[in-house]
Amino acid sequence: MAVGAAAYMLFAIWQGVLFLRSGNLIAALLGIAVLALPLLGLWMIYRELRFGLAVQTLAERLDRDGALPLDNLPRLPSGRIERDAADAEFEQASLVVAAEPRSAAAWFRLSLAYEAARDRKRARKAMRYAVALDAGDLGPPPVID
């Protein structure tokens, strides 16, 4: 999907360049507008792929070290994790993060707990922090609520 989106954006960039080269002021302004969105899109794709690769690298390292959390929570017939189990896992993961606030493994587990609780925004925030910790970036931790 990312390759298809990137191909489409490259085509749009080419069209923007053609508009810019037309010599007409209105076409040139349109060319600038046509260039802005695909460039933003390409940057967003790059950023997401880079994040995905960093998460994969961290998960592989945690698995190698035996620190990858087990996926053994009870599930509904739909495949979703049972709400009570997700809440209990979140409580446990929060306690681990409180005890080890500079542990990438703890933040990774918290991210998975947020995801199990269906809070994708906080899950991504916690995972970004886990990746940053793994890379040695010791910025301030995100707020856990």
Percent of the chain with pLDDT over 90: 70
Instruction: Say what the pLDDT of residue 145 is.
Output: 62
Report the chain's mean pLDDT, rounded to a whole number: 91
Among 114, 26, 116, 22, which Cα is nearest to 128's? Answer: 114
pLDDT tens for each residue of 93-116: 999 999 999 999 999 999 999 999
Spatial distance between the Cα atoms of 33 and 22, rounded to a whole number of angstroms: 15
CB of 123 closer than 8 Å to CB of 111: yes
Under 8 Å between Cβ of 134 and 126: no
Distance CA 20, CA 17 (A): 5
CA distance 22 to 42: 24
pLDDT band with cut points at 50, 70 and 90 for residue 20: very high
Kindly report the pTM of this predicted structure. Answer: 0.78
Task: Examine the pLDDT at 34 and tell me if it is beyond 80.
Answer: yes
